[in-house]
Amino acid sequence: MTTATNEEWRKEFGIVHDAGKLFFSSKAELNASGTQTSQAHVLRRAFDLLKLDGVLCTENTPLIYFKQVKRIEVEEVVRLHRKFWNHGGAPLLVLVAPHEVHVYSGLVRPVPNADRRGHIASLVETLDRASSGLLEFLPAVESGEFFRRHHKSFNPAHRVDRDLLDNLHATREKLVATSTGTLDAKVLDALLCRLVFACYLFDRGVIGRTYLQGIGLHDAHHLRDVLRFQPRIEAKKYLYKLFRKLGEDFNGDPARAVRCNG
């Protein structure tokens, strides 16, 4: 996309810099000297993961992710929304096509496919680029009116972090029930926390195949490969070797993983 095209869609939305808002058109701009935002690492990840064309923040908090597309393709949107939801940054993803704009919610769980009509549950609103609706969009979002109007699409219980906690709780309860009281709750909590931390590192690309080779595991790329190892006693051995290595390298400091990921 050319600079002129970038400026064109931004003007249509009425995006301007002011004291309460920050707009970043690229990761390079985000990294520029003097830029201050409390969630810079989240935004860098968003630019890399979603190939964004812009991020609008209010009070240093991500509000809207913008991405230009040549056309709205349902299968691609389903894939993109899954990444967006799992990223858990801004509540809104706006896809800017040549003639229309689609607005998607980050608080609607992703689906594997569109429905029979080609509808995706996370689609909140469609706007015509030739209408005045684009200029009305940002004020409605910033005032909260947009979220009130479409409140069914913004259920906090469907955030990725809430889903994670619900899934962890369900897993914990199932393991406790299966163990018939023989499993120490503190040991179980520590195990689940370590698994989540390890998944985070693998999913963010901080560690991977080379890291697993360092503990003697070859042809493995992710934590799930470790857990699938047979026989089970060997899977347990490598899992605890991985935990020990993570403890040595990160010293129990999740922030170090964030820093390593840039």
Instruction: Tell me, yes or no, whether 127 and 179 share the same domain.
Output: no
Question: Domain span at residue 126?
Answer: 3-154
Does residue 149 share a domain with residue 24? yes
User: 154, 171, 201: which is the final residue of a domain?
Assistant: 154
Which phi and psi angles does 67 have, rounded to 5°?
A: -140, 125
pLDDT over 80 at 259, yes or no: no
CA angle 24, 27, 29 (to 5 degrees): 55
Please tell me the pTM assigned to this model.
0.74
Which of 117, 136, 154 delimits the end of a domain?
Answer: 154
Each residue of 163-201: pLDDT tens digit? Answer: 788 778 888 888 878 877 777 888 888 888 888 889 888
- The residue behind tokens 């704009």 is 101
**Shared domain check, 16 and 60:** yes
The tens digit of pLDDT for each residue in 108-142 reads: 999 988 888 888 999 999 999 988 889 999 999 99
- Is the separation of the CB atoms in 97 and 130 below 8 Å? no
**What single letter denotes the amino acid at residue 22?**
L
CB 113 within 8 A of CB 79: no
Number of domains, the chain: 2
